[in-house]
């Protein structure tokens, strides 16, 4: 049975209207859901991060430096990224800048520095890391530590000062994290002989280095000069030589006196009296 053209038009128009109403309903529902998600996310974000990440707290230029640092890191320009992160950190030190510096240090294979920075990132309460960033930072920290050896120093005496590769160590009781390779320790203490100790460290090592310094030997002082002089004065040989020299001098004087006065005999007293 053929449907009149007017009825077909009315049927098509009603169908399109129902489709438009259905689409409007879907869009409205989607908008409501998005609005609810935004509100819920805004309420949960501070709880997960500990503090709000309001951009108004950032100093001028901070965000631009961070963005450039991230771009440099993604491009593999790690030295440039490090410099930019350092500038951003100087403006606004926080967990995010610590993490950025730690990631770059890891890429540059400076594992001790990376370990220190990543620990600071996890501990910082200024813009603390959210759960996702904390998890990834912990993984990076474990990766950095896998390249390091741990050395515990035990030294005697307690006042010993130590240096590692030419740099003074502040605390001798804390374990040291050292990169793979050879390191040189220097130990000094007042009244003890200095000691130098090379140490080869491998990744994953757990080493105990026990150092006992040797006391300096007692140094004998030189004999006092007065004692030497007294020894010379007491020497019989010296006085014998002096006696011979004096006697010879007197004899020479007598001979000269005889020659000058024509005296051919008599006592010394007579010679003196003639003059």
Domain containing residue 89: CATH number? 1.25.40.10
Q: How confident is the model at residue 208 (pLDDT cuts 50, 70, 90)?
A: very high
Examine the domain organization and report whether 105 and 88 are in the same domain.
Answer: yes
246 touches 225 (CB < 8 A): no
Cα distance between residue 63 and residue 71, in whole Å: 12
Residue 152: give its domain's CATH number.
2.60.40.10
Examine the domain organization and report whether 164 and 204 are in the same domain.
Answer: yes
Examine the domain organization and report whether 206 and 173 are in the same domain.
Answer: yes
Give mean pLDDT, residues 73-86: 96
Residue 100 lies in a domain: yes
Residue 134 lies in a domain: yes
Examine the domain organization and report whether 111 and 183 are in the same domain.
Answer: no
Q: In the chain, pLDDT over 70 holds for what percent of residues?
A: 60
140 burial type by CB count under 10 A (0-12 exposed, 13-18 middle, 19+ buried): buried
Closest CA to 101 of 55, 88, 143: 88
Residue 97 lies in a domain: yes
**pLDDT tens digits for range 166-207:** 999 987 778 999 999 999 999 999 999 999 999 999 999 999
The domain in which residue 81 lies consists of 55-145
Q: Which residue has the tokens 């040291």?
A: 176
Indicate the residue among 145, 164, 179 that finishes a domain.
145
Mean pLDDT of the chain: 75
Give mean pLDDT, residues 24-39: 42
Residue 48 lies in a domain: no
Q: Pairing mode, if any, of strands 148-156 and 176-179? A: antiparallel
Total number of domains in the chain: 2
Residue 189 or 234, more confident: 189
Residue 130 lies in a domain: yes
Examine the domain organization and report whether 163 and 112 are in the same domain.
Answer: no
Give mean pLDDT, residues 252-270: 41
Q: How confident is the model at residue 102 (pLDDT cuts 50, 70, 90)?
A: very high
Examine the domain organization and report whether 176 and 204 are in the same domain.
Answer: yes
Examine the domain organization and report whether 78 and 157 are in the same domain.
Answer: no
Indicate the residue among 98, 126, 145 that finishes a domain.
145
pLDDT at residue 251 is higher than 70 = no
Examine the domain organization and report whether 99 and 170 are in the same domain.
Answer: no
């Amino acid at each position: 049975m053929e449907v009149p053209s007017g009825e077909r038009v009315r049927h098509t128009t009603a169908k399109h209207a129902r489709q438009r109403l259905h689409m409007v309903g879907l869009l409205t529902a989607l908008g409501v859901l998005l609005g609810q998600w935004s509100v819920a996310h805004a309420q949960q974000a501070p709880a997960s991060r500990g503090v709000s990440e309001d951009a108004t707290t950032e100093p001028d230029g901070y965000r631009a430096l961070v963005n450039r640092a991230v771009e440099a890191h993604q491009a593999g320009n790690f030295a440039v990224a490090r410099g930019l992160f350092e500038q951003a950190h100087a403006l606004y030190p926080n967990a995010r800048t610590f993490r950025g510096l730690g990631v770059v240090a890891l890429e540059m294979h400076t594992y001790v520095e990376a370990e220190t920075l990543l620990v600071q990132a996890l501990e910082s309460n200024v813009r603390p890391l959210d759960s996702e960033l904390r998890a990834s930072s912990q993984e990076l920290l474990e990766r950095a530590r896998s390249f390091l050896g741990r050395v515990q120093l035990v030294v005697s005496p307690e006042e010993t000062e130590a240096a590692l590769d030419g740099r003074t160590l502040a605390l001798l009781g804390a374990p040291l994290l050292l990169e793979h390779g050879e390191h040189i320790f220097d130990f000094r203490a007042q009244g003890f002989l200095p000691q130098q100790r090379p140490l080869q460290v491998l990744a994953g090592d757990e080493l105990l280095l026990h150092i006992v310094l040797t006391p300096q030997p007692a140094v004998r002082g030189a004999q006092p000069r007065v004692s030497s002089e007294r020894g010379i004065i007491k020497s019989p040989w010296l006085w014998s030589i002096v006696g011979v020299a004096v006697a010879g001098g007197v004899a020479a004087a007598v001979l000269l006196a005889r020659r000058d006065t024509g005296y051919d005999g008599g006592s010394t007293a007579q010679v003196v009296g003639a003059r």
